[in-house]
Amino acid sequence: MGITSGIVLYAVIWFMTLFVMLPIGLSTQGDEGEIVPGTHAGSPARISMKRKAFWTTVWATLIWAVVASIIVWGGFTARDLDWFGRMTPLPSTDGSGG
């Protein structure tokens, strides 16, 4: 895996983690009973994006480290996901020629 693909992989994992983290611990205006006129009751009452970004970065870095190490060390390949046998077989490496 190259530097660019590592950065792209990290960005994708970071944003996926952010979207998972956003609703965690969310307190809505309806929950707090203080609905601002012109807003929906499901709108957030208050949110600390700095804290969310920090924890997103921590979790995304851990997830990225696991995924990147699996990709780099080859412990898991696309052939491991070929449950229906649709990929062509690998060529023989025993030197028999067939």
Q: What is the pLDDT along the chain (98 residues), one digit of tens a residue?
A: 789 999 999 999 999 999 999 988 888 888 788 888 888 888 888 878 899 999 999 999 999 999 999 888 877 777 888 888 888 877 777 766 55
- Asked whether the CA dihedral 66, 68, 70, 76 is positive or negative, the reply is positive
SS3 59: helix
pLDDT at 39 (0 to 100) = 83
Domain locations in the chain as residue ranges:
3-33+42-75
- Look-up of token digits 């895996």: 1
pLDDT at 97: 54
Secondary structure (3-state) at 28: strand
